[in-house]
Amino acid sequence: MATVGKTKLDSGWLAARSTEVDLTGTQLTTTHPPSKGPNSPWIDAEVPGTVLGTLVKNKVVPDPFYGLENETIIDIADSGREYYTFWFFTTFQSKLSGSQHLDLNFRAINYSAEVYLNGHKKVLPKGMFRRHSLDVTDIVHSEGGQNLLAVIVHPPDHPGRIPPKGGQGGDHEIGKDVATQYVEGWDWIAPIRDRNTGIWDEVSFYVTGPVKIVDPHLVSTFHDNYKRVYLHTTTELVNRSAWVAECSLNIQVTTELEGNMCLVEHLQTRHLSIPAGSRVQYTFPQLFFYKPNLWWPNGMGKQSLYNVVITIEVKGYGESDSWRQLFGFRKIESHIDKATGGRLFKVNGQPIFIRGGNWILSDGLLRLSKKRYSTDIKFHADMNFNMIRCWGGGLAERPEFYYYCDLYGLLVWQEFWITGDVDGRGVPVSNPDGPLDHDLFMLCARDTVKLLRNHPSLALWVGGNEQIPPEGINTALKKDLILHPLFYNELNEDGKSATGLSVEMKDPSQYLDGTRIYIKGSLWDGFANGKGGFTDGPYEIQYPEAFFKTDYYKYGFNPEVGSVGMPVAATIRATMPPEGWTIPLFRKVSGGYIEEVPNPIWDYHKYIPYSKPGKVHDQIQLYGSPKDLDDFCLKAQLVNYIQYKALLEGWTSQMWSKYTGVLIWKTQNPWTGLRGQFYDHLLEQTAGFYGCRSAAEPVHVQLNLATFFLEIVNTTSEELSNVAIEASVWDLEGTCPYYKTFEKLSVPSKKTVSIVEMKYPKSKNPKPVYFLLLKLYYMSDNRILSRNFYWLHLSGGDYKLLESYKKKKIPLKITSEIFIKGSTYEVHMYVKNKSKKPESQTLTLANNFTSMQSDNDFDSSSLESTCEKPNESEAVGLVHKLFRRFSKEQDGFKVTEMNMNGSEEGVAFFLHFSVHASVTQHKEGEDTRILPVHYSDNYFSLVPGEGLPVKLTFEVPPGVTPRVTLQGWNYPGAHNVH
């Protein structure tokens, strides 16, 4: 008897172009199974994945994300659909008892397919976003024999053609299908040549007994100010036997305690009879919880999750099926805020100021993995974001994506597959009626809702990007996604919701969803101008102070505002040939502006310049003309940091008075693009990542760049009292000409409060370039709530004086503490600026933070450390570059302290860590970085006497010895210390 449950089919696949295979599906799965060989068309396949991903994996075509290689790959518009129609083949074994059933499941394919199993044919109908489940019990070899499986996958019906000038969604033909719409290219990505054809999501077989559990729906309702909570559960049950099944249906809810212990909160059993061959819906009696642990978004509290397990046992058989889901008790509400006109979200009754980003997908070739999703979502949480918008031209994201959003507290705005440029706008004007098959769209939409609805992170459904779905689809979505009365703020006297649709007071778990709002489009109902006007954006470089001005953006919630995103130089070298390492030409145009002219490879990778002639002067040139790629990318990181920190601080400065939220366009690129990103496709963060991380702290001290007033932001539900601000100005000579503290401050919850003007620029003889360090701390014990560092110039000035500041040799001291657990390294660094600190001022230089960012992916508590804390009496040293080699010793950790001597005083500016593989000979362009790395902070600066703890976490490939480097503006050279 086979074990009940799922077995993934994610390895051992072969693939071949259909026109190169002379055999039928029946022959492939009976008498002529394929094999690789010198003259065979069959190659190792990427499943889950796409045809193009398989071709890249086997080096049949070059990497389309490298340089201009995408231009050498034939586009489906020129090759015809048959060229990207592929066979996929694998084998598996199964052993079933007489009462067991086996389903072959495809969680998604693009776009249609025929399945052959042991000579038998099954058809998978069209649609990229739908699950397929085939009962193959009578087809599989149930005695443990080998099953032969072949699938021929056809591309979308309307793959379209790419116009000479590109454009948003190519010629828009892809919009006629229920598929991703970015694949014909956009202003941030080149065309995907196969249009993502393939078995792009999980394939598995699933064994059950006579009765199968299908798509349970979990809903929690709240009463008495969240003290009483009820869990509602409805599931479908399918009896596939020829007799009445006498069943015991069980639901168990547990919560995890410390020490891998679980507490059973509820265990309920119900007995029922299911007629032969029938499909029934069953609703459990509601389960009562008193004061459960609630699920909160990132920055508002813990992400408490309960494990819900539903099992069904059949008399005379035993356990027939089992289903489990991590579930969070939380209530999400939203309404249009009267004060701002923006949509205001509440979680568990608490308003949440939305600071997040737009998301397309993880990888343009759909090389999706749980490991990469884990990194992606943790990066968003590390930036202190609380929402991700899944843009309508991309994916209905996968359960693995939502799993990590649940764990890390990222609310998700999920759009359906409509976007304006492909559905009614664009050049030429696209088809306004959306996909040709509206019924297919709705089938995919309903199935997507069932796939995702139990995730606490899922916050709202939106019909489309900058467009409303066609009337028939929009009406159907409104009806299907109507709120249950318990989740609607108000009902009209006639018992209708604001949508005009009647509501029924049945159990909420019997709704398709019933708990989340549906908004018809991203520019409607509290987003942008709320009426569909094209009022999101802008998408280019801005003056930092512009974000703080009251006339910058008119509306309460901006769903898309974008800017630059140049990666570090190592990424350019790793993703482009040497001709792509040339920096832009800086051409003077009218009005004293400079136009950047990028090289053709940067242009192909959608580089967005750091200037906007006529509006914004070049922000890289503020630091002086860059000399080479390294200099350009380093200066770009300075701008990235300032740009995105100012964007979020500007929005937060007007929290609730003008704004309810903002989503940045966009957080990352699903390919090696050069715009709008906080980390690149190789998973290296830009400095903008850390500008966001600082600005989006739950409690934050900041400088209003328009008014020069100091502000305190408190997005938490607790009032701050007896806190103080320490403001210190540091010049390029290492002195502190301005030092003030503002004490005994109080800040109400959910408020931004303007405290006092920072008057240094108005003082006598202010320095043209200076540093400002702000710290918000508790007066009782100097514990720091927020630390914020700025580099500033006087009005009308620039940062060119920083060029000579590179020659400063600032003494730093570094202590490292290394833990090794398997292939995972956790490195605790402590970096201190040993410059002489001012003796006449009481500075909070120790940086005793109130709490550290939690790190869920490494447990160092079980590892014993012999590291001593930094000793203030140790000799001072000079850091040119820290080049630490780690070796796996018996206890798995190594402790190092290093001093780098320097004789000059001053701020250690723009320090940043990176991790590399140790290599004996380094070739030009060779990428030695180990990625990804999670940093508790990076691109930081230290004033004299100040020390900062930084934690690094990363995995090391087998056989690789890592080294950590520390570089900074003050010493950008390659001086190595072993």
Residues 113, 45 contacting (CB under 8 angstroms): no
Q: Find, among 972, 812, 826, 829, the residue nearest to 907 by Cα.
A: 812
Residue type, 26: T
Please state the separation of Cα 60 from the chain's center in Å.
31
* Residues designated catalytic: 466, 560
Residue 621 tokens, joined: 């040139």
Residues 462, 392 contacting (CB under 8 angstroms): yes
Q: Is the dihedral of CA 687, 688, 691, 692 positive or negative?
A: negative
Helix or strand holding residue 230 (H, E): strand 228-239
Residue type, 615: K
Residue 848 tokens, joined: 């005793």
The 3-class secondary structure across 788-813, one letter per residue, is EEEEEECCCCCCCHHHHHCCCCCEEE
DSSP assignment of 861-889 equals TTS---PPPPPTTSPP-B-S-B-EEP---
Distance (Å, whole) CA 118 – CA 91: 10
Q: What burial letters (b/e) apply to 440-467, b meaning 16+ CB within 10 Å?
A: bbbbbbbbbbbbbbbbbbbbbbbbbbbb
Residues 745, 712 contacting (CB under 8 angstroms): yes
Residue 966 tokens, joined: 């520390």
Query: Long-range contacts: 717-721, Cβ < 8 Å, 24+?
Result: 717/300, 717/350, 717/749, 717/750, 718/749, 719/746, 719/747, 719/748, 719/749, 720/745, 720/746, 720/747, 720/785, 721/746
Residue type, 590: S
Examine residue 811 and say whether the peptide bond preceding it is cis (omega within 30 degrees of 0). Answer: no
Helix or strand holding residue 630 (H, E): helix 629-653
Pairing of strands 661-665, 354-359: parallel
Residue 764 tokens, joined: 């006598």
CA distances from 666 to 184, 545, 674 (A): 19, 21, 12
Other C-beta atoms within 10 Å of 252: how many? 17
CA distances from 885 to 814, 817, 978 (A): 14, 12, 7
Helix residue ranges, H only, 581-628:
600-604
Q: What burial letters (b/e) apply to 486-520, b meaning 16+ CB within 10 Å?
A: bbbeeeeeeeebebeeebeeebbbebebbbbbbbb
Residues 6+ apart with CB under 8 A from 647: 542, 547, 561, 563, 662, 664, 695
Pairing of strands 751-757, 720-730: unpaired
Residue type, 839: E
Other C-beta atoms within 10 Å of 601: how many? 20
The helix-helix angle for 687-695 and 370-382 (nearest 10°) equals: 50
Place of tokens 């679980």: 262
Place of tokens 């400063």: 808
Distance (Å, whole) CA 737 – CA 946: 17
Within 13 Å, how many C-alpha atoms sit on residue 382's CB side? 26
